[in-house]
Amino acid sequence: MARTNSFQTDMPAPVAPRRPQTRRCGAHTIEDAYAWLRAENWREVLRDPKALPSAIRSHLLAENAYCQAALADTVPLQRTLVAEMRARLRENDSSVPAEDGRYAYFDIEREGCEHPLHARRAVLADGSLDEETHIVLDANALAAGHDYFRLGALAHSPNDRYLAYAVDTQGSEFFEIRFRDMQTGADLPECIHSATEDLQWAADSRTLYWVWRDDENRPREVRRHVVGAKTQDPAPLYREEDDGFFLGLGQTSDRRFILIEAHNHSTSEVRCLDSHATSAAPMLIAPRQEGVEYHADHAGTNFYILTNADGAEDFKIVTAPETAPQRANWRDLVGAKPGVLRLQQRLFENFHVRLERENAVPRLVIRDLRDGSEHSLKGEGAVYDLTLEPLYDFATTRMRYATSSLAAPEQIFDYDMASRTAVLRKRADVPSGHDPDAYITRRLYATAPDGAQVPVSLVHRKDVRLDGTAPLLLYGYGSYGITVEASFSAKRLSLLERGFVYAIAHVRGGQARGHAWYTAAKGKGKPKTFDDYIAVARMLIAQRYSRAGRIIVMGRSAGGLLAGAVMNRAPELFGGVIAGVPFVDVLNTMCDDSLPLTPPEWPEWGNPREDEEAFDCIRRYSPYDNVREAPYPPLLATAGLADPRVTYWEPAKWVARLRHCAPQGGPYLLHTEMQAGHGGANGRYEELKPLAMEYAFAIKAAGLALK
């Protein structure tokens, strides 16, 4: 049965020509009528979006025009939404300064500026901060003249002389690393190209460690750059030969070691570099073993290692002597406890802090290393977010954490671990006004088909009638062990104030209920993610939070896969689907090892080239491969032309196939950012525009007045 279409427009939807191509995947042949939308020069397009072939560009622009026409009546609403969201921003704002020896570093937001200013203030003898603020980097000046600009990581040298910073001007995540002399304010002439945004200074304040990307956009080598040197040593300190492993850089809490971590989605391996011995070779802590993950930190003469070794599915913390850190010398400090997932650790001279989660609820546990005593910190209520905030100090009793909820804005505290007292450093507010007490937050549970209890975090205004008439936006992700936290968003208030219920489905594939919650929906178990989400939607309908046809699906990236899969499985439940940069062409992508992320993704999804069961499983759920004639709800899909994570042609092909196979459903809208990557439009105000478009789509799909 066809749906009533409220997205009427006189403009016909673009029709992508069908030009069937075939490719081999293991023992199988796959036919793809829209494979031509993938540019043969896609590697060049990542570095220069203007290199996109004209036929493909014309099609994407036609899709953008059709999307704009279908949403034309929402344009005044989109402007209203942008104005609302902007009014909730504190235009002139700053982060809490983080002291590091002679200076405290922080970021400043200024009214009308898209990007932050990085600043510092001198630390006085009594520990207070000098009143004078020095701007060391203005990202707005760097962004001038670029259609897209993203400031990545930045790091000051230990002697406070140099600032290394990474910038991306395409959205492809090929970063440039530049150097600024903070004494003169001038940039040095040297520049590093084809880098990730990972960067770490050695103790000498001249040597910077960085990661080089190859032409496939894979982080491949750790290299060393010496500021001011006339020649640079081209030899990598470490090269990762396995296409299936990522490379990243870190630093121990005491800054004694630079960490090189190679990992995929189930296995990791760490090497360390003595920060004070820049000519030394990396030292391997423990060789990689399939299925074993570990992450290292250091204090005193020991490494502290967070790991799932020895069957510790939810991770434990072990220690090992720095002179002999091999597996044989690992000794339990915090043993494994099923159902209590250890997420993160931070070390101080006399204290060890860990972030853990039990039954979707986070807490911080502080351990005194001198006597082994422990105490914990939690947020308020049953539904909240809790995070460790960055600090440079090591020889201190102070840690910093932040907490918020779906209804209450973020608060940042400095906590004295010895006296167990907290000082509020910053309370975020909503300048246009916000009363947390006007909202209700809840934790609910839905029963999946196999009996699993799926947590749901939910918020709505107190005056919303729970009689099944309310529109509901149901957000989900469900991959890589990533858990969507129940944190505050001032932007989300635009939906809540219009009577929406907002819910997060903590489906399997994330780690809301421990590591087993992730592995249960990994590889061949992936369909459990979709079963969980549909079970949540049905529970919310049964409890009269909404009704079928008024639930709006929302997911991004791998969450876009979730959106596409549940749209195929139960289209009758949903009034609209918002799929941001969605990973929907799973079978074709996982069969193509030339794409940037395919080999590293095989542990997550399975390798259909070599595993017949993986091929069959992916083929049964891949959204693109399971489009059928069905009464699909309206769809808004987005893409980024320079996206190296989910390539632009995935949503483009998906929308084309939906129009061909299910012309009575929809409409199917596609908006492609022609000068952006996976994160979409960049900038504090610019990013409000695509979000306003998505919210306007949701409001219209739910049948609300466009105001």
Report the catalytic residues: 557, 643, 678
- DSSP state, 470? S
Dihedral in degrees, nearest 10, Cα atoms 224, 225, 226, 228? 170
Are 637 and 7 in contact by the 8 Å Cβ rule? The answer is: no
CA distance 456 to 99: 38
- Which one, of 121, 201, 131, lies nearest residue 163 by Cα? 201
Walk across the sheet containing 186-201 and list its strands.
150-156, 162-168, 175-181, 186-201, 207-213, 219-226, 238-239
Note whether 566 and 482 are within 8 A (CB).
no
Q: In terms of Cα–Cα distance, which of 586, 541, 594 is closest to 564?
A: 586
**Coil vs helix vs strand at 650:** helix
Cβ(598)–Cβ(517) below 8 Å: no
Asked if residue 187 lies in contact with residue 14, where contact means CB atoms within 8 angstroms, the answer is: no
Per-residue three-class SS string for 84-122:
HHHHCCCCCEECCCEEECCEEEEEEECCCCCCCEEEEEE
Of how many residues is the chain composed? 707
**650 and 589 Cβ atoms separated by less than 8 Å:** yes
Nearest partner of 85 among 696, 697, 577, judged by Cα: 696
Query: Are the C-beta atoms of 524 and 613 separated by less than 8 Å?
Result: yes
> What torsion do the CA atoms of 609, 612, 613, 618 make, to the nearest 10 degrees?
40
Strand segments (E) across 169-245 = 175-181, 186-201, 207-213, 219-226, 238-239
C-alpha distances in Å from residue 171, one per residue of 158, 636, 641: 30, 21, 8
Distance of alpha carbon 617 from alpha carbon 605, whole angstroms = 9
- The DSSP bridge partners found for residue 191 are 178
Distances in whole angstroms, Cα of residue 8 to Cα of each of 68, 212, 333, 574: 12, 49, 63, 19
Strand partners, 246: 263
Rounded to 5, what percent of the chain is helix, strand, coil? 20, 35, 45
Which SS3 state, helix, strand or coil, does residue 32 take? strand
DSSP secondary structure letter of residue 47: H
Which residue type, as a one-letter code, is found at position 360? A
Angle at 659 between CA 657 and CA 660, to 5 degrees: 65
Is the four-CA dihedral 205, 206, 207, 211 of positive or negative sign?
positive
Residue in this structure with the two tokens 């196979």, named with its chain if needed: 661
Distance (Å, whole) CA 502 – CA 538: 15
Q: Is the Cβ–Cβ distance between 294 and 309 less than 8 Å?
A: yes
Question: Is the link from the previous residue into 436 a cis peptide, with omega within 30 of 0?
Answer: no
Contact 639, 670 (CB under 8 A): yes
